[in-house]
């Protein structure tokens, strides 16, 4: 299916839509695009969307706004393709794919969400500050701290090489075997699959810990013992 409206191109992909914008001012492009979506809600509802933004320079807030607006309309933004390194970085920070030729999260989920080791992983080598939200359809690895007010939602495991003080949801699509580990596990809240826990005691001396769902179906953290 091909549609053209001014500078916006919409193409059908195997399992979703690819929307290509051009370099006209971002606000204008965004408005035109959303107007078009609102004109054909049935066509767009439930779509998995990849967005090509040419060389637009977009920051976290631009993308978060757009993603929220799309999500309100039942559209899932999973990839952002850009010629701008800044925009690519922003997209990665939000857990969006930046290439659509890569295995899609959908496939990764089907083949290896239960097994470990081979899953797609998002690697972030920075501290996640308050207000940052990372969503990823696989594992998430952070080399840095997760501060209070930051959130990670992953369909797989979450590994924090640093202090975890924000909110992490692992196994967000229901994987009960997902684990969360951190060098210092002092989160605001942890979730694995459907289980929620906020009763993780603060430690005087932090040691690496791993949280998982135990045999009784409760979310529990224990010290990491190698071997």
Partner 1 sequence: MPAQVITITSGKGGVGKTTATANLAVALATEGSKVVCIDGDIGLRNLDVILGLENRIVYDIVDVIEGRCRLKQAMIHDKKLTNLYLIPAAQTRDKNAVSPSDMNRLVKDLRADYDFVLIDSPAGIERGFRNAIAAADRVLVVTNPEVSAVRDADRVIGILEAEDKGPGALIINRLNPILVKKNDMLSAEDVLDLLAIELIGIVPEDENVIIGSNRGAPVASDPKSKAGQAFRNIAKRLKGETVPFLDLESSDSLWERIQRLAGRK
Tell me: does residue 65 bind partner 1 (CB under 8 A).
no
Please name which of 183, 179, 149, 177 lies closest in space to residue 164, comparing C-alpha atoms: 183
Provide the 3-class DSSP secondary structure of residue 197: strand
Please report whether residue 87 would count as binding partner 1 according to CB under 8 A: no
Contact 204, 222 (CB under 8 A): no
> Does 99 interact with partner 1 (rule: CB under 8 A)?
no
Q: What tokens were used for 157?
A: 């495991």
Complex with partner 1: residue 45 or 59, whichever CB lies closer: 59
Piece in contact with partner 1 (CB under 8 A), picked from 57-65, 109-117, 151-159, 189-197: 57-65
Query: Judged by CB under 8 A, does residue 189 bind partner 1?
Result: no
Pick the stretch among 7-15, 53-61, 77-85, 211-219 that binds partner 1 (CB under 8 A).
53-61
d(CA 215, CA 135): 27
Q: Is the dihedral of CA 124, 107, 100, 21 positive or negative?
A: negative
**Residue 95 or residue 171: which is nearer to partner 1 going by CB?**
95
Q: Which residues bind partner 1 (CB under 8 A)?
A: 59-61, 86, 90, 93, 127-132, 145, 147-149, 165
């Amino acid at each position: 299916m091909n549609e053209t409206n001014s500078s916006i191109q919409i193409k059908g992909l195997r399992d979703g839509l690819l929307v290509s914008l051009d370099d006209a001012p971002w606000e204008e492009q965004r408005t035109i695009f959303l107007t078009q979506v609102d004109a054909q809600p049935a066509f767009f509802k439930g779509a998995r969307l990849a967005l090509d933004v040419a060389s637009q320079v977009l920051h976290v807030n631009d993308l978060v706004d757009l993603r929220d607006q799309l999500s309100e309309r039942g559209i899932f933004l999973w990839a952002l393709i850009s010629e701008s390194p800044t925009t690519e970085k922003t997209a990665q920070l939000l857990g969006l794919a930046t290439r659509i030729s890569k295995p899609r999260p959908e496939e990764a989920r089907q083949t290896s969400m239960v097994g470990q080791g081979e899953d797609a992983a998002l690697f972030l080598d920075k501290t996640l500050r308050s207000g940052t939200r990372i969503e990823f359809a696989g594992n998430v690895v952070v080399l840095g701290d997760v501060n209070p007010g930051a959130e990670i939602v992953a369909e797989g495991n979450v590994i924090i090489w640093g202090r975890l003080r924000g909110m992490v949801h692992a196994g967000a699509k229901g994987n009960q075997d997902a684990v969360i580990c951190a060098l210092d596990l002092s989160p605001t809240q942890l979730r694995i699959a459907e289980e929620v826990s906020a009763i993780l005691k603060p430690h005087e001396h932090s040691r690496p810990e791993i949280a998982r769902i135990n045999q009784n179906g409760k979310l529990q953290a224990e010290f990491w013992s190698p071997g």
